[in-house]
Amino acid sequence: MTTTTPVPAGTIRRIVELATRAPSVHNTQPWRWVAHGHVLELYADHWRGLPVADPTGRDLTVSCGAALHQASVASAALGWSPTVTRLPDPSDPDLLARVELTPAPPPADAADLLEAIDARCTDRRRFTSWPVPDERLARLAQVATQAGTRAVPLTDVSERFRADRIVLQATERYRSDQAMTTEQQAWRDRSLVDGIPSTVVPRRTGSVGAPERFADGDLDDRDEHAVEGSDGLVVIFDVQDDPAAWLRAGEGLSALWLAAMAGGLSVVPLSQVVEVPESRRAFQIEVLGGLAHPLILARIGWQAIGRSELVRTPRRAVDDVLEIA
């Protein structure tokens, strides 16, 4: 017989609060949590999806995967070891994961992990011109792979050139697609609890830097030293293009992100290339050799030291995303 220890409600709330700090596409926060006893369940909330850009729910599930990873890291750091079962009920595809919690001593770096989850943010300001060493990118891809997905850094010059071209094409296709831009715009300055505030979106002049999805905000981003192509690029992919692979991709993205932060690096996800069907196919064939599906890209670079702190993007209240049964 196995005995279980119920998790105090305050701890459950703290775990979910930290999980909701996870990145999500357009800050849609497409998740719902249900807690009972020592079990925490993660559900996809399709009402918060993007029917135009993400009709299959790929970005949505990647976002939930990131929240699942942050919930797992937070649980362990708070003294509860998580055992995760992904997609545990074939008759309920919205139930993405069941996390069983058992008491366990927290890891030595628990305080750092909790701080990293809380501090993580998408900083779209230009990276400095310091290149990210290939070994660092390879190590971060390995961290994502250890989280159960697959990832490679695009360090080969011609491979990177092809990837950049396809990302640029995706950005242009997006801009010329009225339905996609309208949907994206609907999540800008959306509310006090979700969406992307203009205060975290750079105001750009000129064309230096990566092809920008968001470049018309209020955030000052002057940097005369910016050069093109100083960032690293890691692609998270899988041979499958299904919810199990998407969930793992989100977990990998979050693991990579926290590891990057620990090394002083900044991460910006790029998903347009995956959202635009022609670009996704081009990336699959021209960059991944036709064998695998790109699920999310991560731009990685160094932010200038001493830059102003970003305003934190808002989140829904814990009571809105958590039901304690």
Ligand X SMILES: Cc1cc2nc3c(=O)[nH]c(=O)nc-3n(C[C@H](O)[C@H](O)[C@H](O)COP(=O)(O)O)c2cc1C
Catalog residues that contact ligand X under the rule CB under 6 A: 23-27, 59, 62-63, 66, 121-122, 124, 196, 213-214, 268-272, 296, 313
* Residue with smaller CB distance to ligand X, 215 or 304: 215
Q: How many CB atoms lie within 10 A of CB 111?
A: 11
Nearest distance from C-beta of residue 2 to ligand X, angstroms: 35
Nearest distance from C-beta of residue 108 to ligand X, angstroms: 26
Q: Which parts of the chain fold into alpha helices (H)?
A: 9-19, 58-77, 110-119, 134-146, 157-175, 178-186, 243-262, 272-275, 277-286, 318-321
Cα gap 274→262, rounded to integer Å: 27
Nearest distance from C-beta of residue 206 to ligand X, angstroms: 18
Phi and psi dihedrals of 19, rounded to 5? -60, -35
Nearest distance from C-beta of residue 214 to ligand X, angstroms: 5
* Residue with smaller CB distance to ligand X, 106 or 172: 172
Cα gap 272→50, rounded to integer Å: 12
Question: Is the dihedral angle over the CA atoms 45, 47, 48, 53 positive or is it negative?
Answer: positive
Q: Which residue has the closest beta carbon to ligand X?
A: 23
Question: Is the dihedral angle over the CA atoms 253, 258, 263, 265 positive or is it negative?
Answer: positive
Quick one: how far is CA 262 from the chain centroid? 16
Nearest distance from C-beta of residue 209 to ligand X, angstroms: 12
Nearest distance from C-beta of residue 24 to ligand X, angstroms: 5
* Residue with smaller CB distance to ligand X, 43 or 214: 214
Q: Token digits for 2? A: 């196995």
* Residue with smaller CB distance to ligand X, 72 or 272: 272
* Residue with smaller CB distance to ligand X, 102 or 181: 181
* Residue with smaller CB distance to ligand X, 7 or 97: 97
